[in-house]
Chains A and B, each alone.
Chain A
Amino acid sequence: MGKPSLAVWKFASCDGCQLSLLDLEDRLLDIAEAVDIAHFPEASTAHADGPYTVSLVEGSITTPRDADRIRAVRHQSELVVAIGACATAGGIQALRNLADSDEFVRTVYATPTYIDSLATSTPISDHIEVDIELRGCPVSKIQLLDVVGALLAGRKPDLPTYPVCIECKARGVSCVMVAGGIACLGPITQAGCGAICPAYDRGCYGCFGPAETVNVASLAWQWRELGIEDEALVRSLRTFNTAAPAFAAASAAIEDR
Chain B
Amino acid sequence: MSFVLKRSELDQLVTVLREDGYQVYGPVVVDRAIRYRRIDSIDELAIGVRDVQGPGRYSLVERADDAIFGHTVGVTSLKDLFFPPRRAVWTAARDGDSYRFEPAAPTGARVAVIGARSCELAAMSIHDTVLLGGEYVDADYEARRKAGFIVSIDCTEPGEVCFCASMGTGPGADGGFDLAMTELRVDGGWEYVGRYGTQRGEAILERVEHRVPDQIEIGQARSAVSAAAGAMGRELTVTGLPEFLASHRQHPSWADIADRCLACGNCTQACPTCFCVSTIDTSSLDGATMTHDVRWDSCFSLDFSFMGGRPQRASIDARYRQWLTHKLSGWVEQFGSSGCVGCGRCITWCPVGIDFTAEIPRMMERIDG
A188's closest neighbor in chain B, by CB?
A: B262
B35/A177 in contact, CB under 8 A: no
Near B by CB (< 8 A), chain A positions 151-184 give 152-153, 155-156, 158, 160-163, 165-166, 168-180, 184
Write the nearest CB–CB distance from A42 to chain B, whole angstroms: 20
Q: Does A123 contact B (CB under 8 A)?
A: no
B57 to chain A, nearest CB (A): 6
A217 within 8 A of partner (CB): yes
Given contacts A160-B303, A170-B85, contact A33 B264 (CB under 8 A): no
B97 to chain A, nearest CB (A): 15
Known: A174-B75, A178-B349. A30 touches B262 (CB 8 A): no
Q: With the chains together, A33 CA to B285 CA distance in Å?
A: 9
In the complex, chain B residues 242-286 whose Cβ is within 8 Å of any chain A Cβ: 259-266, 269-270, 280-286
- The stretch of A68-76, A85-93, A142-150 in contact with B is A142-150
Q: Contact between A178 and B265 (Cβ–Cβ < 8 Å)? A: no
The answer to whether A222 touches B351, judged by C-beta atoms less than 8 angstroms apart, is yes
- Answer yes or no: B225 CB below 8 A from chain A CBs: no
Contact B302 A155 (CB under 8 A): no
Q: Given A152-B287, A174-B33, A163–B262 Cβ distance below 8 Å?
A: yes
Q: Is A250 an interface residue (CB 8 A)?
A: no
Select which of B56, B270, B316 is within 8 A of A222 by beta carbon.
Answer: B56
Would B264 and A165 count as touching, CB distance under 8 A?
yes
B335 contacts the other chain (CB 8 A): no
From B131-139, B201-209, B292-300, the one touching the partner chain is B292-300
Residue A192 CB within 8 A of the other chain: no
**Is B107 located at the chain interface by the 8 A CB criterion?**
no
Q: Which residues of A contact B260 (CB under 8 A)?
A: 215, 218, 221
> A34: which B residues are within 8 A, CB to CB?
285-286
Residues of B whose CB lies within 8 Å of any CB of A are 30-33, 35, 56-59, 75-76, 80, 85-86, 259-266, 269-270, 280-287, 290, 295-298, 300-303, 316, 348-353
Show 30 A/B contacts (Cβ-Cβ < 8 Å), sorted by A.
Answer: A31-B285, A149-B283, A153-B283, A153-B290, A161-B303, A162-B298, A162-B300, A163-B265, A165-B262, A165-B266, A165-B269, A166-B265, A166-B298, A166-B301, A169-B85, A170-B86, A170-B296, A175-B58, A178-B57, A178-B348, A178-B351, A179-B31, A179-B32, A215-B260, A215-B261, A215-B262, A215-B316, A218-B260, A219-B351, A225-B56
